[in-house]
Amino acid sequence: MNSIKIEEILDCTDGKLIKGNREYLVSNICIDSRKALEGGLFIPLIGEKFDGHSFILNAYKKGIKSFLKDENHNIDLNFDDINVIEVKDTTKALGDIAKFYKSKFPINYVGVTGSTGKTTTKDIIHSVLSSKYKTLKNEGNFNNHIGLPLTVFNLNNEYECAVLEMGMSSFGEIEYLANIVEPKIAVISNIGFSHIENLGSREGILKAKLEITSNFKENSILIVNGDDEYLRKLKNKNLNYKLKSFGFEKYNDLYCIRYKMDEKGIYFNCAVYNNEEEFFIPARGKHNIYNAMAAILVGIELNLNIDEIKNGLLNFKSSKMRLDILKNSLLTVINDAYNASPDSMKAALEVLGEYKNNRKISVLGDMLEMGDYAQKGHRMVGKYAKNNSDIILTVGKNSEYIGIQALDEGFDEKNIKHFKSNLEVINYLKKILKANDVVLVKGSRGMMMEEIVEFLNNNNTI
C-alpha cells in the first residue's frame, strides 16, 4: 500500500479529527489487532459477536498510532503520539477509504460476479491478464464489503489491472462494491439459485447481479454467459453500455465449437471473431469452458493477443476445494467442498460422470440458504446424481431429497444412503470403499465436507 495522509482520510470519510496530526502518513490499513503493523490505521469494525473498539489498546501496543472510532464510542488512550478520527460508521468508512485509495490508480478494473463459478472465473481471468499485465485479485473469500476494500489496499504503482470478485446475499451489496471499484468491465458467470432465500426468485438474483453495472458508462463492457436463460435476455434490451456474450450457441460473440477432455484438462475450439482457435485449460468439467471463455473475452477487450491468452489459460491453477482432483494409491477424490448450489452440484456431478471405467460415489451435503426452494433444489440435484453416480450418499437434512428424487428416477434403492453427520458418512465409507473408486465430495460451506475429504485423502487401506 502507498502511504496516505490523515488529511485525506478525513476528507474521504467526512470524519472529524479528535486528536492528532493531519499530515501524518498511514502506510497500511488494519482491522485485526493481531495483524497490526507499525504505521498503520486501525479500523475497529463492529460485528454481531465482537466490537473492534475493544482491541484498540492491543493495536497500539503493536505500533499502530492512528485509529478510527465510531461516533458512539469513546477511546481511552491517553497518549500524545496518536491520531484519532471519528466517523459515523467504521465499516462504511473502510469502504470510503478504499474507494478513495483506488482512485489513485487509473488502471483497468474488472468486476466478477455470478451465482456459481465466480471465484474460478476470477482466477482464470487473473491468470490470462497476468500473461501481459501485473494484475491484482482478491484471495479466498475476500469478496464482500470488508474483504474487497482490504484487497484494494494491496494496490501499488506496480499494478496494471485488477480483477475483483463481488459476492452478495441480498440486494444492494454488489452495488456497494461496484461503487467502490467502478469496473470498466464486468462479468456475470450465470444466474442460479444461490441466496434465493433472500432474493425471492431468479429474477431477483438477476437484478441483484446487474448491480455490478451501477456506474457503467457508454464505453463500459458487460460480459455474460449468453447460454444462460436469464442473461441471454439482455441482448434484447436497450442498454447504455456494451454487451458481449460467450457460450456454446452460435449467436454468442464467442462460442465453443467442440471440446475434448482428458486427465490433463480440456482442449476446446472457439470461434473468435470469425477465426477458429484451439485453447487448453488444466481443469476438468464443461462448466470451466464457460469460465475460460469469459476470460478470453476479457483478454480480448484489454488488448491481449491470442498467444498471450492461451499462455494465461495454460498457467491457470484452481483454488483449493473447488473441483480439486486428489489422488492417492487407492482412490481419486474430487474435492469440491467449498460451497454448493444446484448449478454447481450439476457441474461437479458431470465431472464425476466423466470417469467411465471407475465406480463413482457421490457424497453430497445440504445446500444452505435455499429457503422455500430447498426441496425443489435438492430434488434437481437428485436428477443429476442419478445419471452420474453408482452410489449416492447424502448428509444433513434437506439433502435427503437428493436420494428421494434419484429413487423416483429409477436409481437402485440399495445404493442410496442418507446420514445425519459427516462421521456417519466416514464410517460407512470405511465399509464400502474399493480400490480405484472415484469419490465426489460436495456441500455448502456450513456442512464442513472437508472432514470427509481429509479422511478419503489420507486413507491408504481398504
pLDDT digits (tens, 9 = 90+) for 145-168: 999 999 999 999 999 999 999 999
436, 439, 434, 459: which is closest to 449 by C-alpha? 439
Residue with cell 437428485: 382
Q: What is the mean pLDDT of residues 423-436?
A: 96
Count of domains forming the chain: 3
Indicate whether 78 and 117 sit together in one domain: no
pLDDT bin (cut points 50, 70, 90) of residue 98 is: very high
Indicate whether 238 and 115 sit together in one domain: yes
pLDDT digits (tens, 9 = 90+) for 262-271: 878 999 999 9
Q: How far apart are CA 27 and CA 71, in angstroms?
A: 24
Please check whether residue 98 lies inside any domain of the structure. no
Residues at the binding site for ATP are: 114-120
Please check whether residue 13 lies inside any domain of the structure. yes
Which residue range forms the structural domain that includes residue 206?
105-314
* 17: CATH: 3.40.1390.10
Yes or no: say if 14 and 87 are a contact pair by the CB < 8 Å rule. Answer: yes
Indicate whether 391 and 444 sit together in one domain: yes
Answer whether residue 200 shows pLDDT above 90.
no
Query: Residue 461's pLDDT is what?
Result: 62
Answer whether residue 397 shows pLDDT above 90.
yes
Indicate whether 194 and 279 sit together in one domain: yes
Residues at the binding site are: 114-120
pLDDT bin (cut points 50, 70, 90) of residue 320 is: confident
Answer whether residue 460 shows pLDDT above 80.
no
Q: How far apart are CA 184 and CA 60, in angstroms?
A: 39
Indicate whether 38 and 168 sit together in one domain: no
Cell of 70: 465510531
Last residue of a domain, one of 314, 348, 375: 314
Indicate whether 281 and 301 sit together in one domain: yes
Secondary structure of residue 285 in the 3-state scheme:
coil
Please check whether residue 95 lies inside any domain of the structure. no
Last residue of a domain, one of 314, 345, 367: 314
Please check whether residue 344 lies inside any domain of the structure. yes
Please check whether residue 416 lies inside any domain of the structure. yes
Q: What is the mean pLDDT of residues 337-345?
A: 90
Indicate whether 43 and 162 sit together in one domain: no
Distances (CA, A) of 393 to 347, 400, 462: 17, 9, 18
Answer whether residue 185 shows pLDDT above 80.
yes
Indicate whether 306 and 337 sit together in one domain: no
Percent of the chain clearing pLDDT 70 (strictly above): 99
Answer whether residue 307 shows pLDDT above 90.
yes
Indicate whether 241 and 328 sit together in one domain: no
**DSSP secondary structure string, 140-159?**
TT--STTHHHHHHTT--TT-
Q: How far apart are CA 154 and CA 397, in angstroms?
A: 41
Answer whether residue 349 shows pLDDT above 80.
yes
Answer whether residue 65 shows pLDDT above 80.
yes
431, 451, 427, 433: which is closest to 441 by C-alpha? 451
Secondary structure of residue 311 in the 3-state scheme:
helix
Residue 352 backbone phi and psi in degrees, to 5: -60, -40
* 251: CATH: 3.40.1190.10
Return the minimum-mean-pLDDT range out of 104-108, 191-195, 220-224, 395-399: 191-195
Q: How many residues does the chain have?
A: 462
Distance in angstroms between the alpha carbons of the first and the last residue of the chain: 51
Indicate whether 347 and 249 sit together in one domain: no
Please check whether residue 96 lies inside any domain of the structure. no
Last residue of a domain, one of 90, 117, 139: 90
Answer whether residue 318 shows pLDDT above 80.
no
pLDDT bin (cut points 50, 70, 90) of residue 462 is: low
Answer whether residue 406 shows pLDDT above 90.
yes
Q: How far apart are CA 236 and CA 352, in angstroms?
A: 36
Indicate whether 239 and 286 sit together in one domain: yes
Identify the top-confidence range among 126-135, 276-285, 325-334.
126-135
* 410: CATH: 3.90.190.20
What's this model's pTM, rounded to 2 decimal places? Answer: 0.86
How buried is 432 (Cβ within 10 angstroms: 0-12 exposed, 13-18 middle, 19+ buried)? middle
Indicate whether 112 and 72 sit together in one domain: no
Q: How far apart are CA 225 and CA 302, in angstroms?
A: 19
260, 261, 226, 259: which is closest to 243 by C-alpha? 226
Q: What is the mean pLDDT of residues 58-80?
A: 89
Please check whether residue 433 lies inside any domain of the structure. yes
pLDDT digits (tens, 9 = 90+) for 21-55: 999 999 999 999 999 999 999 999 998 888 999 99
Q: Is 224 left (phi over 0), alpha (psi -120 to 50) or beta?
A: beta
